[in-house]
Structure 1
Amino acid sequence: MIRAVVEQHAEDAAFLFTSRNAALEARYTRLEDLERLDERIAANLDGLRFAKHAGQRIARMALRGGDAGEVFAAAVLACESEKSGAVTRLFDEAPADALAEGLCGAVAWLPFGRQRAALRELRASSNTVARRAALVAQVAHRRDPENALLAGVLDDDPRIVATALRAIGELGRTDLVVILAAAMHGDDPEARFWAAWSAALLGEAIGSHVLRAIAEHGRARAEQAAEIAAMTLPPSEAVAFVEGLTRRADRRRAAIRGAAALGDPKLLPTLLEWLDQPALARPAADAITTITGLAITAELSVEPPSDDDDDDETIDPDDGLAWPDAPALRAACERSRASWPAGTRHVLGHRIERSSLVRALRLGRQPERVRAAFELARAGEPLIDVEAPSERQLRALAGRS
């Protein structure tokens, strides 16, 4: 085995894991994009496995000065190893600030049956990252953690608490809504959000109202809260909620995300009006695409405006989104306006119903897929993890039409 080849596998696996995480956050990523990334990650991990002990050693050596991607590659090999202590060694060797992301990514990636020994080791650990990773693994594979779930809610680590509260919704644990009710009135903003998210997913109206308050007050995760509130409030109340956000200049990004999630064409005139505002043009056009299915192709886009401040290092929240040609997009919407009656929710140009939601899961971009999975779960179907390895997602979608 040529050492340089194995080192390249370790480097590429780490880089691709980081790229995949970025793709999950990007608004233009589709399932087919994840498939391509996942195939490349799997191929590089296989290259490390083929090298056996040399592959494990090189992956661990890459931890020095590495990031979450290097932790991911080393943790995958450690978690599927039968050697006692292989996983706990990572806590001494991996960068502390990258350990949680890389280890949680590894246990979510690997098939559950190939990491049972490692999960027993993680569950028995006093390390908070280990306990969180064990919980993440079980939830990612839709295995009920049972007592570990309640222990997570009561943990001293706020990240474990938030993970456990989110898991209650992901696993459909309607018997634990009383725990969510208590957490929604707590002091920790992450715990409050995920408790409300889970409550809304499980059909509890209080969850939608707490999310509405989070969005209206501009608290942490306000834009994400606006999406879920718009999807789960009664239709007339949801429209009024989003319209209220549009009237506040500091809440308009949340309003755009709420409008996209609600999907009511009644909100299109406001979105079309905002195409003339540089700070809102791209997200507004993106929301129009989500509602109508009109993609911002070359015919409906323009060149980005010139940036006179080359030294500005501010992160662009709309990076990757096309700049819309406002007159062209307005004309396209006007031509097809009759296809989208106001008062009826739409996604990608189709009325929201089971078939259009499954279509969005298969063909939509990542934000649309997140919302479609949530809507289907609220209707009683198992929640599809749209961040899971694509092979697992495709299996889950195989029985849905």
Structure 2
Amino acid sequence: MLSASNKSKSDGTPNRRIVPDVVRQHAEQVAFFWAQRDTLMAADPPNLNVVAGVDRRLEANLDGLRIAGSAAWPFIVAVYEDFPEKGELFLYGWMAVELNDGRRIAEVVEHGSRSEDGACGMVGALAWHRPATIAPLVRDWIGAHDAFKRYLGVSACLGHGVDPKQMLVRLVRDPDPRVRAASLRLAGKLGRADLVPQLGAALDDTEKLPRFWAAWSLAELGSGNAASSELRKVAVSGSADAMTALRAAVKAAPDRDVRAWMGGLFKSPETAPLAVRGAGMLGDRNILHWLIHQMRAPALVAAAGISFLELFPEAKEYDELFSVEPDLLGEKIAEHFEQDPPYLPVADRVKEWAIERGLLADPIASPRD
């Protein structure tokens, strides 16, 4: 792809002969694959095998940029200017840190501060690098006057599971709500039981995200009773954090209370899919017969399929249990998805699979199932 000459530029970096089209493609592919990876990781649940495949392709293209070195910058800047989204910010941020280029790091921090997607890409770049590589930046940022830099510093700690020790006591009360939210989340991830009083106080925060992550962390730390109300509120909100909140809500309260809450959700068409999805988080494989029944309901089939795979992960090896074919899924489901259904469980096939393995205690309990 390139070779280094013996001459140097005026700034001391070596001149490199590159193939422009190849370097441009590496830059574009890095942005694309990381954005794809970020989207895949947000799925419920993420397909880690698919993510691993994307990671390999991403890393191969990062290697190309490593070899190109600073000669890649014109292409990286062009990619970002053409489409300044999260993948392009990951690309820009990763390369700036990789080359320890202070000017470019300052640029990408400025770019990232302008949008939530930009912040996402920059946080992703920090998470991709080794902790030792980003440690000097994190030490400078986590106590900075600029709120976005503090957010990046805390997010880097979150991505790598690094404990900022006593500084976290101050950060969970930071004036900036995004910094508070990330810090409160970090407290739960690190198991900082010493911060339970601060987490409890944050349940009264005026901002939604800090309240939610305080509640989530309390559930992680075994103090979820006080947090259940906030977690359940977020779970039914339809927000990006709804599934995370649902899982935390299941963890936060006694099993009987959680089942009663889900029973209430199941009575409403608007929240019934949430109840079916939450049922899979309870870890009770005895609900298989009930789940198969929900697979016949157009509005519930998707949630039932995800819960089934969570309870029976071994079923992922059997592709024939799921399909996108309207003829296999049935007329009602096909109509519900306007004849273009996603990958959904085929109830009859799941039933047969379960019977063959003795997973259904009474296979003739219902003439329909």
Same fold judged by TM-score > 0.5?
A: yes
Residue 70 of structure 2: which of 53, 60, 75 is its match? 53
Instruction: Note if 1:152 corresponds to 2:168.
Output: no
SS of 2:104 mapped into structure 1? coil
Q: Which amino acid aligns with 2:319?
A: T
Match of 1:137 in 2: 156
Return the match for 2:260 from 212, 227, 240: 240
Q: 1:11: how far off?
A: 0.5
Secondary structure of 1:249 counterpart: coil
Give percent identity, aligned residues only: 29
Shift of 1:109: 0.8
1:79 equivalent in alignment to 2:100: no
Deviation, 1:50, is 1.3
Paired position in structure 2 for 1:325? 346
CA RMSD of aligned residues (A): 3.0
| Counterpart secondary structure, 2:65 | helix
Match of 1:88, SS state, is: helix
Note the 1:2-401 alignment, pairs <5 A. 2-27=19-44, 29-65=46-82, 66-92=84-110, 96-97=114-115, 98-123=117-142, 125-207=144-226, 209-211=228-230, 213-214=232-233, 218=237, 220=239, 221-293=241-313, 294-295=315-316, 297-299=319-321, 301=323, 303-304=325-326, 305=334, 322-334=343-355, 336=357, 338=359
CA distance in 1, matches of 2:158, 2:79: 29
Provide TM-score, normalisation by structure 2: 0.79
Offset of residue 308 of structure 1: 8.5
Counterpart Cα distance in 1 of 2:90 and 2:69: 17
SS in 2 for 1:96: coil
- For the residues of structure 2 that align with 1:130 and 1:340, how far apart are their CA atoms? 56
In structure 1, how many angstroms separate the alpha carbons of the residues matched to 2:353 and 2:200? Answer: 45
- How much does 1:67 deviate? 1.2
Q: How many residues align?
A: 333
Gaps of 5+ in 1: 311-315, 342-401
**Shift in Å at residue 28 of structure 1?**
6.0
The answer to whether the Cα contact below 8 Å between 2:90 and 2:124 also exists between their aligned partners in 1 is yes
How far apart in 2 are the matches of 1:33 and 1:110?
Answer: 21
Aligned counterparts of 2:51 and 2:279: Cα–Cα separation in 1: 26
Q: Pick 1 or 2: higher relative contact order, CA cutoff 8 A, min separation 6.
A: 1
TM-score by length of 1: 0.73
CA distance in 1, matches of 2:208, 2:238: 8
Q: Quick one: distance in 2 between partners of 1:291 and 1:230?
A: 15
Greater Cα radius of gyration, structure 1 or 2: 2
Deviation at 1:12, TM superposition (A): 0.5
Q: Which amino acid aligns with 1:23?
A: L
Mapped to 1, the partners of 2:101 and 2:359 lie a distance apart of 64
Cα distance, 1:75 vs structure 2: 0.6
For residues 106 and 51 of structure 1, the distance between their equivalents in structure 2, rounded to whole angstroms, comes to: 18
Helix, strand or coil: the match of 2:270?
helix
Deviations 1:81-126 (A, max 9, x none): 3343431122445682242011101111100111233334434644
Q: Secondary structure at the match of 2:80?
A: coil
Is the contact made by 1:165 and 1:195 (CA closer than 8 Å) also made in structure 2? yes
- 1: CA distance, partners of 2:361 / 2:167: 47
